[in-house]
Each structure stands twice: as C-alpha cells, then as structure tokens.
Amino acid sequence: MWSKMPVFNGWKLVESLKIGNATGIDNIPSEAIQAGGGVSIEALYKLINEIWRITITPLSKVQTFVNRRLHQILGILWTNVITNEELWQDLNRKMLQSQ
C-alpha cells in the first residue's frame, strides 16, 4: 500500500488532453481545461490530492482492523510486541502447517 501520493505532473496531464473529443462524464471540454493553464492544474492537483486522501485513509484503517483481528485469531497477546510483517509471516507459517 502506498503511504505517499505519487508525483503529479499537471502540465503533462493537461497537455496530453486531446482537442475536439467529446466531453467526459464531467462535461468539461478539454479545451476549457487547457485554456485554464495554471488554474486548471492547481484545481486538478487539489482534486487528486483529496481523492488520494479519502481513498488511502480508509484502506489504512481497514489494514489496522485486520491486523488486530489476526492478533486475536493467532492468540498473540498485546504484551507480545511484533511487527506487522512478523504477524503475516506467522499467519503464513501456520496456514502451511495446517495443509
């Protein structure tokens, strides 16, 4: 899972828009986005950052929930400090033993 948003090259994205194509689901023609220049790029940047924030945060919360349940299922007490990597290795080892 990514913890940091990938690099966003707004100029490259805006320049790659095809002229004369039908509008997308947002009904914004590519010409309007290109004409906006830096304002368009700033708006796209903010939008992409917000989408990234609301997508990644819930995923990390789900992963935390899963890891806590695995501790319970595997009988690992909270006093036994192990990394998440060790937790998943222990799970894989126990699954292989049960086969």
Is the overall model pTM greater than 0.85, yes or no? Answer: no
79-96 tens-digit pLDDT: 888 888 888 888 888 878
11-60 tens-digit pLDDT: 666 667 667 666 666 667 777 777 776 776 777 778 777 877 777 777 77
DSSP secondary structure, 20-58, as one string: TPPP-TT---HHHHHHHTHHHHHHHHHHHHHHHHHHHHH
The b-or-e profile of 28-38 (16+ CB within 10 A means b, else e) is: ebbeebeeeee
What is the residue extent of each domain of the chain? 10-98
